[in-house]
Amino acid sequence: MLNPDVCYRALQTHDARFDGRFFTGVTSTGIYCRPICPARTPMRKHCRFFPTAAAAQQAGFRACLRCRPEIAPHSPAWRGTASTVSRAMARVAEGALDGPRASVERLAASLGVGERQLRRLFDQHIGASPLAVAQTRRVLFAKQLIHETRLPMASVAMAAGFGSIRRFNDTFLALYKRPPSQLRRRSVTASSAAPLVLRLSYRPPFDWNALLVFFTARAIPGVEEVRDGVYRRIVSVEKHVAFIAASHAPSRNALEVEITCDHVPALPVIASRLRRVFDLDADTEAIAAHLSRDRTLAPIVRRQPGLRTPGGWDAFEVAIRAILGQQISVVAACGLAAKLVALSTKSLALAHISLTDTALTHVFPTPQQVLAADLGALGMPAARRATIVALARAAIDKPDLFEVANSLEESIGRLRSIPGIGEWTAQYIALRGLHHPDAFPASDIGILRNAEHLFGNVLSPTQLLARSEQWRPWRGYAAQHLWAAGNLNLAPRRKQSRPNARHPSRIAPFAPPSAVAGGRSTADRPTRVTL
């Protein structure tokens, strides 16, 4: 629940840390704003506070043209506390309520709840109905495209998910008392030829350098690259290819992403996935405060402000990379991934995308392409090749295998049903590919070694898993802090027990989880460095 007095103090100071946490509706003007709005602060009696932009819009307020609520960081208030709402929001963000056949009833059924219950949960956690959230998403995304790009209005309407140009125009006339074309800046000329640049905001602090280090080490040649502080890659959305280039704009608390794509309806999906890839919606201060309740973990959390959990563009890609990266170095795993890409796909000749300044030539293969490839040329153990084949077949046979809307337990269960995938791999895929904030690969050798150094005694995966209960619902961020702790050179705590060869919690560096944590597969061993 929002405290009006606290919200008003944040509004007076224009504190960026509160950006996206609430929106202010001004009754004297009928406009709602972000806490960082440069306009003069309204009187307290004229202010109403809402948890989301959808709630403000449903209450009859329209978006401010100065602070532009459409580029505010997404509010993560429901994440980790309301699983059903988190899953529903993930689907709405990718257009689950767009199109003539979409409905709240269908959305609720796909989540395993009743329509009435879903509406109640949205009202409790979001402050607006599912349809209002979807409508606000369409309007704000369209408004962002109008302000920041040169797309023609027909393309803007299509990209934002409006069913027709007429509905698009009517919506903007009702909300802003003017046609959408009048919202476009005079300096912006409509054109569909040039690449567009979208601004994706976050709530500070934000450790961009840590993300670049992560993606630089793991970039698959030909598919992605990091150069001059810019992350570039080629992606595919519904068989349509796009080129993206993301750079940091710290003065704006945002990433600026250049997107070249000839299929404008793919833009909301691209924006939504990029927010997950770079973990832009994390409230790192709230997460850090929760994790710091563990006094032993607190020092590394303090020394890594703004640390995010890097994601993957596609969960299938993350799963393949996790399998390829077992028991070998990151460099060797990237080489295997590049071989797999070359075996499975053809080099792209994209007339509408200028790649003269990059070495990007391929899109990561689909499950169908992986099945059709000769994996014997990879030079991998037969058991691991069999796991890749089983994963590709499962991805084809079970369309909901990598559904972001699944709960953590559902995701882990479905992944572990695939031969050769055990607990560690399933948790890692859930963390990186599905972005479950509570996923925790407790048997990862990097986490175990850094935990031993930090906590002062050797922990088995089972013991570490028991300790991680106090970190819920943010165990994934605790895992990220533990992974990164090896670079901090913290003084080790005094050890509580001296390990020896007979110590029951002593783990061989590459022992399979089956020997220590009930794992099922030798292909699921703790890894030296996770990919």
DSSP 25-61: EETTTTEEE-TT--SPPPPGGGEEEESSHHHHHHTT-
Closest CA to 282 of 517, 142, 86: 86
Residues 6 or more apart from 509 whose CB is under 8 A from it?
A: 445, 526, 528
Catalytic residue of the set 281, 283, 438, 444:
444
- Measured CA to CA, the distance from residue 85 to residue 81 in angstroms comes to 9
The answer to whether the beta carbons of residues 33 and 47 sit under 8 Å apart is no
In terms of Cβ atoms closer than 10 Å to its own Cβ (0-12, 13-18, 19+), residue 341 is buried
In sequence order, what are the residues at sequence separation of 6 or more whose Cβ sits closer than 8 angstroms to the Cβ of residue 366?
A: 236, 316
d(CA 229, CA 365): 26
What's the CA gap between 364 and 316, in Å, rounded?
Answer: 10
- Beta strand 47-50 pairing with 62-63: unpaired
Buried residues in 218-256 as b, exposed as e (16+ CB within 10 A): bbbbbbbbbeeeebbbbbbbeeebbbbbbbbeeeebbbb
Report the run of H or E that residue 424 belongs to, with start and end.
Answer: helix 423-432
Instruction: Please confirm, yes or no, whether 228 is among the known catalytic residues.
Output: no
3 state SS for 390-403:
HHHHHHHHCCCCCC
* Length of the chain, in residues: 531
Is 33 an annotated catalytic residue?
yes
Ranges of H-type helices in 149-222: 153-160, 165-176, 208-218
Q: How far is CA 142 from CA 34, 145, 373, in A?
A: 18, 5, 41
Task: State how far the Cα of 272 lies from the Cα of 274, in Å rounded to an integer.
Answer: 5
Q: Of residues 33, 64, 261, 334, which has the active-site annotation?
A: 33
Among residues 129, 51, 61, 49, which one has the least CA distance to residue 92?
129
Q: Annotated catalytic sites, by residue?
A: 33, 444
